[in-house]
């Protein structure tokens, strides 16, 4: 009996020790795994949360720029570079895509792997961004689209957009043409388009097309892309001047292509501008564009404002404060007529 009671006591003690040991083990496993979980969260959430700063305490902005194809673009790059400086608390990683979408996609992927705080994208074309922007979204990096727009079914792929109303710019040019030429007079138009598939081209072309659809006398004799550059604008115009004897309006989708067209016209002794046979309409109204307008070479120049740096910074400031910026924001713009522009208008230009 005695030995049986001793054995029972021993077994009860053994079970108690085993219970304590197992509870302790469970506790240790639980503590270890939840601790692991926390580390994993902070690796994703902390670094990819969109508000991370780098080790110097700077906000890192990866900016994928279209290229350096025009005066407008150079002014836009300058505005971004002057805004996102270390003195103001930023580190800017600038990538020039040389007008190629594949370079922009590669730039965005490198921004993601560098874990930048914000991605700023000036897209070359509207289509083809879903895959890479999904990658940015999955990494938790906000994407601010600037200047041209993107086309996507999923609006959550970008935080917001800021830029110009290109369709309205085209409409402004058409209203001026209607005022100066009337709506049913026969009007032969040559149309120099920007980079095909870019919002600036699409909107300015749609604006003109609406005028053509409405005004029976107007006809586009020729339409070709000069890719927003002076060199291509010149080449295309040279071809047009060889093919056509009469062009009433050259509708040129930016200043640099207009400069190229002017070179071609000068070489061909073709008259243009306020005293010539061909009226030139241009877009951007950069300083050089306004000089050409004041000289009477460009008849009408519709402004497109490139100073987006401070606007993008304001969006980032809002987000840093935890506010949600407006999804779409349009910049106000005006236009200049060669007959009324003054030197003071040009002096007031900062780009
Ligand atoms: O008009 C042109 C530039 O997207 C608004 O791109 C911009 C356009 C601008 O190359 O000059």
State pLDDT tens for residues 55-93: 689 999 999 999 999 999 999 999 999 999 999 999 999
Q: What is the pLDDT of residue 43?
A: 30
Q: What is the pLDDT of residues 155-190, one digit of tens each?
A: 999 999 999 999 999 999 999 999 999 988 899 999
Residue nearest to atom 8 of ligand 1 (CA): 200
Residue nearest to atom 7 of ligand 1 (CA): 200
Query: What is the rounded average pLDDT of the residues 293-309?
Result: 98
- pLDDT band, residue 112 (cuts 50/70/90): very high
The residues with which 61 forms a beta bridge, in sequence order, are 92, 118
- pLDDT band, residue 30 (cuts 50/70/90): very low
Least confident span in 28-32, 83-87, 287-291: 28-32
Least confident span in 30-34, 98-102, 212-216: 30-34
* 132 pLDDT above the threshold of 60: yes
Distance 200 CA to ligand 1 centre (A): 6
Instruction: Kindly report the number of other CB atoms within 10 A of residue 50's CB atom.
Output: 19
Domains and CATH numbers, the chain: 59-164+307-320 (3.40.50.2300), 166-304+335-347 (3.40.50.2300)
User: Residues of the chain with pLDDT > 70: what percent?
Assistant: 84
For residue 286, the ligand 1 atom closest to its alpha carbon is 11
Distance 340 CA to ligand 1 centre (A): 24
* 54 pLDDT above the threshold of 90: no
Distance CA 36, CA 30 (A): 10
Distance 254 CA to ligand 1 centre (A): 7
* 203 pLDDT above the threshold of 90: yes
- pLDDT band, residue 42 (cuts 50/70/90): very low
Q: Which residues line ligand 1 at a C-beta cut-off of 6 Å?
A: 69-70, 72-73, 147-148, 200, 228, 254, 283-284, 304
Distance 228 CA to ligand 1 centre (A): 7
Q: Describe the strand order of the beta sheet including 90-96 as a list of residue ranges.
A: 90-96, 59-65, 118-121, 143-146, 160-163, 328-330
Distance 271 CA to ligand 1 centre (A): 26
Residue in 254, 284, 280 with CA at minimum distance from that of residue 265 = 280
For residue 72, the ligand 1 atom closest to its alpha carbon is 11
């Amino acid at each position: 009996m005695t030995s049986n009671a001793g054995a029972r006591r021993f077994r009860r003690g053994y079970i108690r020790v085993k219970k304590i040991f197992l509870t302790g083990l469970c506790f240790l496993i639980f503590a270890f795994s939840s601790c692991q979980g926390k580390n994993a969260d902070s690796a994703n959430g902390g670094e990819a949360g969109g508000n991370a700063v780098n080790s110097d305490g700077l906000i890192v902005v990866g900016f994928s720029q279209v290229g350096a194809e025009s005066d407008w673009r150079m002014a836009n790059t300058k505005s971004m570079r002057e805004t996102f400086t270390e003195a103001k608390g930023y580190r800017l990683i600038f990538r020039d895509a040389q007008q190629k979408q594949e370079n922009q996609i590669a730039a965005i992927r490198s921004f993601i792997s560098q874990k930048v705080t914000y991605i700023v994208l000036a897209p070359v074309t509207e289509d083809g961004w879903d895959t890479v922007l999904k990658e940015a979204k999955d990494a938790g990096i906000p994407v601010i689209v600037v200047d041209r727009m993107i086309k996507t079914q999923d609006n959550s792929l970008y935080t917001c957009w800021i830029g110009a109303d290109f369709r309205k710019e085209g409409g402004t040019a058409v209203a001026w043409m209607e005022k100066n030429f009337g709506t049913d007079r026969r009007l032969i138009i040559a149309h120099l388009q920007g980079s095909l598939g870019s919002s600036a081209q699409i909107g300015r072309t749609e604006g003109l097309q609406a005028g053509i659809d409405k005004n029976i006398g107007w006809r586009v004799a020729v339409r070709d892309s000069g890719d927003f550059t002076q060199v291509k604008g010149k080449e295309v115009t040279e071809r047009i001047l060889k093919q056509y004897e009469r062009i009433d309006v050259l509708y040129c989708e930016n200043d640099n292509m207009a400069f190229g067209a002017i070179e071609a016209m000068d070489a061909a002794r073709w008259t243009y501008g306020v005293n010539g046979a061909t009226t030139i309409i241009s877009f951007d109204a950069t300083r050089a564009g306004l000089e050409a307008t004041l000289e009477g070479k460009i008849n009408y120049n519709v402004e497109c404002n490139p100073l987006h740096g401070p606007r993008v910074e304001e969006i980032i400031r809002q987000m840093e404060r935890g506010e949600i910026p407006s999804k779409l924001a349009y910049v106000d713009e005006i236009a200049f007529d060669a007959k009324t522009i003054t030197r003071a208008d040009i002096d007031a230009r900062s780009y």
